[in-house]
């Protein structure tokens, strides 16, 4: 996963990169990446169709997801617009897709746009 913060215009500056994350292991509760653990806690109630065991087939659509600010890690992010890119791999094969998540942190309210 790569995280970017929007600066001037439509330019996004890289603010963090993580190691490869095995999404199937995350869904089984086996992944130890603290960022992914926090994301699961935040999104579990608002996007239940996202949390299935692998293998995934077809599209996964999440709309109107909301975040419980009591569970969220909002204090980690200053006010601004962020882009998170998840590179999708299948097994040990090459990249098969990219999932982009755009978030806006403003006054402890989060607006989520999936693209």
Which tens digits make up the pLDDT trace of 17-58?
Answer: 877 777 777 777 776 677 777 777 777 777 776 766 676 666
- Find out whether 4 and 83 touch, Cβ atoms under 8 Å: yes
Domain ranges of the chain: 2-114
The 10s digit of each residue's pLDDT in 53-110 is 676 666 666 666 666 666 566 556 677 888 888 777 766 666 677 778 787 776 544 4
Closest by alpha carbon to 42, among 79, 69, 78?
A: 69
Helix (H), strand (E) at residue 40: helix 34-43
What's the pLDDT at 74? 58
pTM above 0.75, yes or no: no
pLDDT, average across residues 1-11: 84
- In this predicted structure, the answer to whether residue 113 has a pLDDT above a threshold of 60 is no
Write the burial class of residue 70 (CB in 10 Å: 0-12 exposed, 13-18 middle, 19+ buried). Answer: exposed
E-assigned strand segments in 1-115: 2-6, 12-17, 80-89, 95-106, 109-114
What's the pLDDT at 2? 81
């Amino acid at each position: 996963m790569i995280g970017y913060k929007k600066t001037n215009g439509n330019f996004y500056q890289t603010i963090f990169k993580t190691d490869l994350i095995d999404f199937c292991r995350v869904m089984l509760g086996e992944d130890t990446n603290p960022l992914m653990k926090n994301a699961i806690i935040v999104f579990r109630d608002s996007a239940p169709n996202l949390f299935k065991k692998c293998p995934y087939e077809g599209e996964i659509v999440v709309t109107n997801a909301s975040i419980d600010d009591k569970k969220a890690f909002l204090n980690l992010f200053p006010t601004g617009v962020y882009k998170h890119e998840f590179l999708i791999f299948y097994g040990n094969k090459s990249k098969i897709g990219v999932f982009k998540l755009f978030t806006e942190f403003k006054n402890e309210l989060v607006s989520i746009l999936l693209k």
